[in-house]
Structure 1
């Protein structure tokens, strides 16, 4: 799911134009240019019913959209939502049944003496192996 999610984001012209290839899991490399995206799996729950595991997994993914301005962080977050949410698609060996945006928050930090802004999206990602 991890590499497929990055590939889908980079396939979206509105995302790629902003971040080029600056999408990473877990942490942003020190000194990396902005804007950038950092992804985190918060939790992952396999779907199980009376017949056993269905193969579908529900994962909550935090998407941190980093930028040098608040407006740029919000713009990147909107581009991510447009690229991923409320649709079904397959990317490589992964089938995404639906991705829903369930929460959003903003904050800012100092980095090398300059402000850095972050809009974080929580996405509920329903995925399985593509058939």
Structure 2
């Protein structure tokens, strides 16, 4: 399994995330409300003299979407909590992550306002 699949699985199975959004956690898309969409926004393939090193870094943007501000905030808090501790998931060892404070965003649709809390997660990982 690669980092993206493992990170999605990690967030999707975290109890506080499941309680709010079920399993609606996807890369690059929003599947209804409430939901989490993930995007890799930066990173590099770190190398040393012998080639690619095992420890890698990726900055992942997590957008937490909901019908209410309180629910979007709770979902963002749950996603951050899911990503901070060290853990091995599906053959990927995630080291301690860091996160920015979630930004308040959103969008007006024809019928309602959709709240979005956006945070950047610095994910540090390697094969287990």
TM-score, scaled relative to structure 1 = 0.88
Matched, 1:10 2:12: yes
Counterpart CA distance in 1 for 2:27 and 2:110 is 22
Alpha-carbon contact 2:20-2:71 (below 8 Å) kept: no
Instruction: Write the mapping of 1:59-74 to structure 2, written as runs, cut at 5 A.
Output: 59-74=58-73
Count the aligned residue pairs.
Answer: 126
Unaligned runs of 5+ in 1: none
| 1:90-130 residue CA offsets vs partner (Å, 9 max, x unmatched) | 10121112211035311121134210000001000011111
Counterpart CA distance in 2 for 1:42 and 1:75 is 23
Counterpart CA distance in 1 for 2:14 and 2:27 is 18
Which runs of 4 or more aligned residues in structure 1 lie more than 3 Å from their structure 2 counterparts after TM superposition? 49-52
CA apart distance, 1:50 = 4.1
Match of 1:28, SS state, is coil
Alpha-carbon contact 1:96-1:128 (below 8 Å) kept: yes
Counterpart CA distance in 1 for 2:110 and 2:65 is 15
Match of 2:102, SS state, is strand
Match of 2:37, SS state, is strand
Unaligned runs of 5+ in 2: none
CA apart distance, 1:48 = 2.3
Q: Which residue of 2 aligns with 1:90?
A: 88
CA apart distance, 1:51 = 4.3
Bigger fraction of residues in strand? 1
CA apart distance, 1:76 = 0.6
CA apart distance, 1:80 = 1.0
CA RMSD of aligned residues (A): 1.5
TM-score, scaled relative to structure 2 = 0.90
Q: Which residue of 1 aligns with 2:102?
A: 104
